[in-house]
Structure 1
């Protein structure tokens, strides 16, 4: 391999990243620069060094045509080498997940992670700007997931603001180090050295003068020496240096006529092509093109990769294409499109060539592009969205076909999960704007609004004004009316249309669920899922999630949780964040604190990857509840934001007994609301809930609060809760019953408390475990070894006792010792004692410092 000239600093940065990867610090390196600046050479030098140091290297180069094939840009890297990152069986498994990008990315991250366990590796992708959409998505997910691996991601790209590499760096920033390397033109000395390497000898003065004209671009220096670049300046013709066009023209003039035709025809096909396709277009037998092809290869223009042929560089293809007149290019593109379609290669393969020649009003081109978009939709929805938009743009502004294609644009954008773009397009389409000046019929309005409505419902964005269309046909009118009911704007009717009936059943389920009548809501959800689907149907996955929420409230928690786990293993990946948050809620209800936190964090990660943070507040609620159970109050406070329920629980933990009353306002959809109401002693609200849904958990919780200090009733409530599958609630019952029975039956009380302690310890609920252990110790119970309740921190906020925290917060609010004492119903001297202790643990020595610390730590950030 030739020495890399003029890039020692850049190569040094990549070598540092490689060394860091070998030490277990994953990172991302993005090499950017204009065509011909030397990106590929720098990547090759880094790869050589990586292989020399025992790295596993997986390398690929994206192609311009990759956006019609899922994962086509990254796949060659996954399958490269004797020991590929992904073996054949695994790759075939991945192929079945092309329609579920999140599952594919998660599975690929697992496969690569296991493959690289203890192995240093570099994954290289050249020309990343051409990556297909699935590759771009997978890179964002997998790079973040493998942040702890011995892995360097090395990508080269042309400047492309907002493109693949910008999206990737935005996605992983803060998770892995990012090395942004922008290549600039080489110094004159480096160009001279590069030329000497190519010539295997010194550069004569006349050549040195010519090399000065390449202005530091190594590709042009190489082509100058190879005879494919002429001139002493980089004056351009369009995007190309004039000397390159002239040099390629001179080189091709020495080829046979057939070889020149082959090169120019191939240039229209693209940077990568098949010989048989060019042969058909040239009306020549493939065998007759063997010698002309060899001429083109020997001329330095083409390379033979076996299954396909490629131009040695995109700039060479562009230079060859410059000698094909525009009219000839148009004719060739049209012929290529027809050929690809007739050969069964599909509308998607023909689409780029159709776009190159199509004119506004070309119905045939629009039809081909629509077919291409539909064909791409299942596996390449992002590309499908762009293709259907191109089809729409080719229709005339006032023809009915534009409305028909416009409806399809909305549908495909929604399938590609580009909701905001779909909504904006739909509003423009139906507004009589410059987007469409044809007749806006009731059919068009109703159809477009029914495409949008199922996507608007889960995010509370149904607008009744959009759901009223005068003159809509009866089935569509009934569906729109059903959505108005779902939005809470109308009372339900009795539609004949099955889709409308399904939406009304969900509306009824939502209403019953909001009233706490979970059993009735469950029946409505189940009935809705049995109704036939059509335009305007609500997503079955979301309807089933509502059903599962209700199952968890009617003594079917284990079955509901098992079903959620099953859906997460193979359901619709587009609703994965919602499923993960539901799993977090059900895991928490089941007492599985570690699993609940993991599911909530996974849901947040997936929300970030899919750009949908709708359920982030619920995930944070679960994480805060887990933190409270574990006694990690600072972490819970960081997660709480403005959530009133979490903040009330934190205030109680800080010693504010008055905050208990605030728990009565807990929203009905708050995770494990029943537990919160037990904490609040809200007998009336628990009675209301038990009357609406008399499940074991609801009845047991009511009995527990209603029992007061009645030992018999406490015992009965505890026994009821033993079959409720709510171990945290059961432990609370045992704590109350055990503490109450200690005086009259010490043996029974201790046994009950010890059972609660063992349960809480096993669940990792160290905060209630600590309280229970304290009761046992106060009762004189001595164990050879107590449960592993973590000791209180020695310094910082977590080191404060509940009373010390309460005093600190009151002082930070401006209270004097006396007014704080009145608030806490203690003496001023007691407040002073607690305040001095807090000062010591927090490392402050004044009220001003204390106030500043409290404000910095607990004031929510702007827009929290």
Structure 2
């Protein structure tokens, strides 16, 4: 390989990153610089070094045309080499997920993660500024997911503020190495030239090389005769390169020159058959002219397509094509691509190159392109439809029609804020549109926005009334007013409106705890064929599954949620993840609940949806509490009154139990919380599921051991392990306190084993302590972690209660009265607290407690 000149410092940074990756420290390196500055050469040197060190190397280069094909930029890296990152069968399976970006990214992360297990890897993407939108999204997900892999991600890009690489740097959460490339020194340029010539540089060439201003590409082209070194290099395209390419092409045959000029208009990548059609020349007659252009160093044959050796060479060739000829060729290319069946999306860039305001034919092609791209490349579709809108005149009624398309496409790409702003401008008579705002247009735009506003809790009742709207649309708007709570659900004639009213009724029933009614209403609403204003089907089913879980169908609902997380709408990923976290928790699957909640938080960040973070934190806090991780639970609690009450109970505040009766309707496993609080009135109002009936029976049984046994049997039918453990713990403790060891001990031992198997170490440790205090002896106790020896976690419940009372200003005597113990007992506990927390005064203890609790405990 030709030596890399003048980049030793930059290559050194990449080699350091490779060494770190070899030791399990994944990172991202971004090489940036202007065209021709040597980015690709640096990447090639890094790949060579990585291969020598035994790294798996996968690389790809993005191209300008990638933005019309999903994953076009990254796919070559996935499939490269004898042992690719993704095998053929897996790659073909991924094609079915092109319309679901989140699931595609998650699947890729899993596949690549498994492939990289125990493997050191370098994954490279050159010209990342041209990466297709799906590749850009997938990279953000995959790089973050594989933060523990032995991998260096290496991207090269032109400076593009806010572009693919900037977004990636902000999202990945791993170390990032930014490596900007400056022009080479004069000595490095001389060395580079000597390498290419295989001999020292003569003085006349050295003078010419000084004119390339440190740009290695121009130095190489100067040597190859495609750059005139005495020409100006200050502009965006060096004039010397244009002159050099013009001189070189003058040596070609006329057919070869025509081929190069036509190809330059096509773009950096093209098919020979397309150029042949435009030149009206049989492909066979283009073989020799093509070879001329390749030998001249202008083109390269990539097999299925031809490419210019460098974008600067294409630009130089294009500069020799008069603007009028360029326009004519763009129009002809667009027609050729459409007639050849390549689709409007492939023709769109050429249509845009020649279209003028008011060109309805161009607008029609761009609208078709947007529709074609919408399923798999919604981000590109959004830009194409915006271009179509801009081509219409402000007073043309067609502008309103295309504006409706703009809103629709933006929403499909989940760019809600942009869609809302655009719709408001269109309706407000701004410079965006001067045509008539008909009731039909007004209602249509509001109904386009409404499903997304409902999904994000942003329905505005004032926007849901459109005077003189067509009856069908008026009924649908009324359905949304019911969903917003402004009206009671009513009957409707229009099927879509009827489905909206059913969901509104379901939401009301669910809020009242009438889960069976709500379940049936959600299910009925899902049977309606989608129409303008229809709610997202997956979100409606999420409501139905929530209610199924509350009506003795927990495990069936959980299986369906798991299925939807691979085949449902990936834009609903956060909502699905949070529901799964709740259901996994209810089923006693703590690890899976934690993973689902964390996935939900990660997906909210990736999709820029933050509304469900509190729900995720609730599940994570509950899991932490069961594991005895009180510090973690406190970090997650925020202002959640139920979590804070549970923390207070864990800290020894028995009075906090009464606060659990106020647990909100939608709190995870609310039935268990109410049973813990002996909230008989609240339990009696619940929908009559097995879990609710069992919990109520437990509370109603009081200290009656026989009734508690029957109540526990009823809870068992709900198949909720944590709820059952809570019921059986009460049954066993009550039996033990009544002197019935024969009943109490086996029940508590069974609960201990069950909780330990579930990973609920905090309640397991509590039960183990009860059994040990009762004199129960085992050869081996369940694997309950020992209490910490220092810090807050090391305190017993009574010690925590003493610490909190002292921090509130209690003396030993007043604390003893509060706890109904002697002052000397309080003193004993206080000395233990001082020792475990490493403090030696009440002032220090108070400061520590106040730092830990904000707001103060029991406030």
Q: Deviations over 1:78-117 (max 9, x none)?
A: 1111222112211111111111111211222222222222
Q: Deviations over 1:607-638 (max 9, x none)?
A: 22222122111111011101111111111111
1:752 to 742, 747, 757: 747
1:462-541 superposed matches below 5 A: 462-541=459-538
What is the match of residue 179 of structure 1?
177
| Residue 659 of structure 2 corresponds to residue 662 of structure 1 | yes
What is the match of residue 219 of structure 2?
221
2:757 to 756, 759, 762: 762
Distance 1:606 1:596 in 2: 15
1:99-114 superposed matches below 5 A: 99-114=99-114
| Residue 719 of structure 2 corresponds to residue 721 of structure 1 | no
Distance 1:282 1:849 in 2: 87
Q: Shift of the alpha carbon at 1:483?
A: 0.8
What is the match of residue 48 of structure 1?
48
Distance 2:241 2:823 in 1: 88
Q: Shift of the alpha carbon at 1:431?
A: 1.0
| Residue 281 of structure 2 corresponds to residue 287 of structure 1 | no
Q: Shift of the alpha carbon at 1:844?
A: 3.5
Distance 1:368 1:716 in 2: 71
Question: Which 10-residue stretch deviates more, 606-615 or 543-552?
Answer: 606-615
Q: Shift of the alpha carbon at 1:524?
A: 1.2
What is the match of residue 19 of structure 2?
19
2:378 to 377, 381, 396: 381
What is the match of residue 459 of structure 1?
456
What is the match of residue 841 of structure 1?
836
CA RMSD of aligned residues (A): 1.8
Question: Which 10-residue stretch deviates more, 225-234 or 178-187?
Answer: 225-234
> What secondary structure is seen at the aligned counterpart in 1 of 2:429?
coil
What is the match of residue 607 of structure 2?
610
What is the match of residue 774 of structure 1?
769
Q: Shift of the alpha carbon at 1:826?
A: 5.0
Conservation of the 8 A alpha-carbon contact between 2:140 and 2:172: yes
Q: Shift of the alpha carbon at 1:835?
A: 3.7
Distance 1:459 1:833 in 2: 54
> What secondary structure is seen at the aligned counterpart in 2 of 1:29?
strand
1:704 to 698, 704, 719: 698
Q: Shift of the alpha carbon at 1:712?
A: 2.6
| Residue 81 of structure 2 corresponds to residue 77 of structure 1 | no
What is the match of residue 671 of structure 2?
674
Distance 1:827 1:410 in 2: 71
Distance 2:851 2:424 in 1: 44
Conservation of the 8 A alpha-carbon contact between 1:214 and 1:234: no
2:799 to 781, 801, 804: 804
Distance 2:272 2:80 in 1: 24
Conservation of the 8 A alpha-carbon contact between 1:638 and 1:858: no
| Residue 724 of structure 2 corresponds to residue 695 of structure 1 | no
> What secondary structure is seen at the aligned counterpart in 1 of 2:153?
strand
Distance 2:354 2:673 in 1: 66
What is the match of residue 149 of structure 1?
149
What is the match of residue 122 of structure 2?
122
Question: Which 10-residue stretch deviates more, 579-588 or 568-577?
Answer: 568-577
> What secondary structure is seen at the aligned counterpart in 2 of 1:96?
helix
Distance 2:801 2:428 in 1: 58
Distance 1:339 1:780 in 2: 89
Distance 2:843 2:198 in 1: 75
Q: Shift of the alpha carbon at 1:641?
A: 1.3
Distance 2:834 2:175 in 1: 38
Q: Shift of the alpha carbon at 1:762?
A: 1.2
Unpaired runs of 5+ residues, structure 2, are none
Q: Shift of the alpha carbon at 1:830?
A: 4.5
Distance 1:511 1:47 in 2: 60
Question: Which 10-residue stretch deviates more, 135-144 or 566-575?
Answer: 566-575
| Residue 328 of structure 2 corresponds to residue 331 of structure 1 | yes
> What secondary structure is seen at the aligned counterpart in 1 of 2:212?
coil
Q: TM-score, normalised by structure 1?
A: 0.96
Q: Deviations over 1:267-305 (max 9, x none)?
A: 111111111111211222222222222221121111122
Q: Shift of the alpha carbon at 1:815?
A: 5.4
Conservation of the 8 A alpha-carbon contact between 2:213 and 2:233: no
Distance 2:243 2:162 in 1: 34
Question: Which 10-residue stretch deviates more, 763-772 or 57-66?
Answer: 763-772
Q: Shift of the alpha carbon at 1:839?
A: 3.1
Q: Shift of the alpha carbon at 1:177?
A: 1.9
Distance 2:710 2:283 in 1: 88
Q: TM-score, normalised by structure 2?
A: 0.97
Distance 1:729 1:209 in 2: 84
Distance 1:845 1:212 in 2: 74
Distance 1:848 1:189 in 2: 69
Q: Shift of the alpha carbon at 1:472?
A: 0.6
Q: Measured at CA, do residues 313 and 849 of structure 1 come closer, stay the same or move farther in structure 2, by a change above 3 Å?
A: farther
What is the match of residue 5 of structure 1?
5
> What secondary structure is seen at the aligned counterpart in 1 of 2:646?
helix
What is the match of residue 737 of structure 1?
731
1:256 to 253, 256, 263: 253
> What secondary structure is seen at the aligned counterpart in 2 of 1:837?
helix
Q: Deviations over 1:562-607 (max 9, x none)?
A: 2212222322222122111111111111111122112111222222
Distance 2:731 2:295 in 1: 91
Q: Deviations over 1:447-490 (max 9, x none)?
A: 11111111111221111111100011111000001110111101
Q: Shift of the alpha carbon at 1:411?
A: 0.8
Distance 2:541 2:807 in 1: 48
What is the match of residue 136 of structure 1?
136
Q: Shift of the alpha carbon at 1:531?
A: 2.5
> What secondary structure is seen at the aligned counterpart in 2 of 1:153?
strand
2:345 to 343, 348, 355: 348
Conservation of the 8 A alpha-carbon contact between 1:385 and 1:413: yes
Distance 2:431 2:827 in 1: 73
Q: Shift of the alpha carbon at 1:334?
A: 1.1
Q: Deviations over 1:110-153 (max 9, x none)?
A: 22222222221211110011000111111111112222222211
> What secondary structure is seen at the aligned counterpart in 1 of 2:356?
coil
Conservation of the 8 A alpha-carbon contact between 1:67 and 1:132: yes
What is the match of residue 208 of structure 1?
206
Q: Shift of the alpha carbon at 1:395?
A: 0.8
What is the match of residue 644 of structure 1?
641
What is the match of residue 278 of structure 1?
275
Distance 2:6 2:380 in 1: 39
Query: How many pairs were matched up?
Result: 855
> What secondary structure is seen at the aligned counterpart in 2 of 1:179?
strand
What is the match of residue 683 of structure 1?
680
Q: Shift of the alpha carbon at 1:828?
A: 5.4
Q: Measured at CA, do residues 260 and 582 of structure 1 come closer, stay the same or move farther in structure 2, by a change above 3 Å?
A: same
Question: Which 10-residue stretch deviates more, 295-304 or 616-625?
Answer: 295-304
> What secondary structure is seen at the aligned counterpart in 2 of 1:240?
coil
Q: Shift of the alpha carbon at 1:858?
A: 4.2
> What secondary structure is seen at the aligned counterpart in 1 of 2:177?
strand
Q: Measured at CA, do residues 282 and 604 of structure 1 come closer, stay the same or move farther in structure 2, by a change above 3 Å?
A: same
Q: Measured at CA, do residues 20 and 588 of structure 1 come closer, stay the same or move farther in structure 2, by a change above 3 Å?
A: same
Q: Shift of the alpha carbon at 1:234?
A: 4.6
2:781 to 774, 778, 786: 786
Q: Measured at CA, do residues 338 and 539 of structure 1 come closer, stay the same or move farther in structure 2, by a change above 3 Å?
A: same
> What secondary structure is seen at the aligned counterpart in 1 of 2:97?
coil
Distance 2:740 2:798 in 1: 32
Conservation of the 8 A alpha-carbon contact between 2:807 and 2:845: yes
Distance 1:138 1:678 in 2: 45
Question: Which 10-residue stretch deviates more, 757-766 or 15-24?
Answer: 15-24
Question: Which 10-residue stretch deviates more, 805-814 or 19-28?
Answer: 805-814
1:600 to 597, 601, 615: 597
Unpaired runs of 5+ residues, structure 1, are none
Distance 1:385 1:633 in 2: 47
Conservation of the 8 A alpha-carbon contact between 1:215 and 1:234: no
